[in-house]
Amino acid sequence: MMLGGNTVLITGGATGIGFAIAERFAKLGNTVIICGRRQEKLDEARKKIPELNIKKCDIASESGRKELYDWISKDFPGLSVLVNNAGIQRSIDFRKGMGDLLNNEDEIEINLKSQVYMSALFMPLLMKQKESAIINVGSGLGFVPLAIFPIYCATKAAIHSFTMSLRHQLRDTSVKVFEVIPPTVHDTELKGKPFPKTDYSITAAEMADAVVKGFEADRYEISAGPSGGWLTASKSDLDKAFHEINH
């Protein structure tokens, strides 16, 4: 993919990995639009990068997605890259029955259904462009689940499967389909606050650098750090990793 001259929409682009990707794409001469639910985070992001276009939007709501689509197709009809990055992560203890499930935001809605619906909704616009892309943000935990986040990991495994099918369906179109598979990225808000750096974690900036490199090289599965090995690991290696991370 060309690194400049695109019009890029990044869901959840005001913080963390999404913001680091926005920063890089803006510097490379792309028009960048970010969306998220919290206006103050969008304002903070634009203070840091004044050329960002911002839109308050809950992508888990059908009307939110439709409003975003209507605005973009009118004001940014050249949209050529959709980065499905928005996501949440919750610990859910099934020993409590319905308790944690009901007390948490719906990860299936935000992490899975929204990415699927955003891809379908924006497809006609993306298919109009000479060259375009969808970048779905999955996770290494889609390959090796961390059991305290059971729904999160399941949504990311589903994103991997969905992205493979989408890439195959779109193989004869102008739309290239990428999956970003981060390991632990310690300096983001995913768990409410940044978490401690470990030997197995990287920064959002390092992840975004890998995204830019992979995007330029048309490498459709983009990883960095330890999750890279999980993409090609054997079943017994994945089982071993499962026991290690859940110890």
Ligand X SMILES: NC(=O)c1ccc[n+]([C@@H]2O[C@H](COP(=O)([O-])OP(=O)(O)OC[C@H]3O[C@@H](n4cnc5c(N)ncnc54)[C@H](OP(=O)(O)O)[C@@H]3O)[C@@H](O)[C@H]2O)c1
Pick between residue 58 and residue 126 the one whose CB is nearest to ligand X: 58
Number of residues that bind ligand X (CB under 6 A): 31
Query: Residue 59 interacts with ligand X (CB under 6 A)?
Result: yes
Q: Which of 79, 87, 157, 210 binds ligand X (CB under 6 A)?
A: 87
State which of residues 2, 27, 28, 37 lies at the interface with ligand X (CB under 6 A).
Answer: 37
Q: Contact between 23 and ligand X (CB under 6 A)?
A: no
Amino acid (one-letter) located at 178: F
Q: Residue number with the shortest CB distance to ligand X?
A: 16
Q: How far is the CB of 74 from ligand X (least distance, A)?
A: 20
Q: How far apart are CA 134 and CA 23, in angstroms?
A: 18
14 contacts ligand X (rule: CB under 6 A): yes
Residue 166 interacting with ligand X (CB under 6 A): no
DSSP string, 119-183: HHHHHHHHHHSSSEEEEEE--GGGTS--TTSHHHHHHHHHHHHHHHHHHHHTTTSSEEEEEEE--
Q: Is 223 in the site for ligand X (CB under 6 A)?
A: no
Task: Confirm whether 69 is a catalytic residue.
Answer: no
Find out whether 161 and 176 touch, Cβ atoms under 8 Å: no
* Set 69, 117, 152, 200: catalytic member: 152
The span of 86-94, 119-127, 143-151, 229-237 binding ligand X (CB under 6 A) equals 86-94
Does 189 sit near ligand X (CB under 6 A)? yes
**85 part of the interface to ligand X, by CB under 6 A:** yes
Near ligand X by CB under 6 A: residue from 8, 9, 17, 151: 17
Helix axes 39-48, 16-27, angle to 10 degrees: 30
Angstrom distances, CA of residue 7 to CA of 31, 52, 96, 131, 137: 5, 11, 45, 11, 18
H or E element in which residue 205 lies: helix 204-216
145 lines the binding site for ligand X (CB under 6 A):
no
Task: Indicate whether 160 belongs to the interface with ligand X (CB under 6 A).
Answer: no
Residue 58, interface with ligand X (CB under 6 A)?
A: yes
Residue choice 9, 21, 52, 86 for contact with ligand X (CB under 6 A): 86
- Can you tell me which of 52, 82, 137, 158 binds ligand X, judged by CB under 6 A? 137
188-193: long-range pairs with CB below 8 Å, 24+: 188/15, 188/16, 188/17, 189/15, 189/16, 190/16, 190/87, 190/88, 190/89, 191/89
Contact 210, 203 (CB under 8 A): no
- CA angle 124–126–132, rounded 5-degree value: 155
- Binding region for ligand X (CB under 6 A): 11-12, 14-18, 35-38, 41, 57-60, 85-89, 110, 137, 139, 182, 184-185, 188-190, 204
Q: Which residues are catalytic?
A: 152
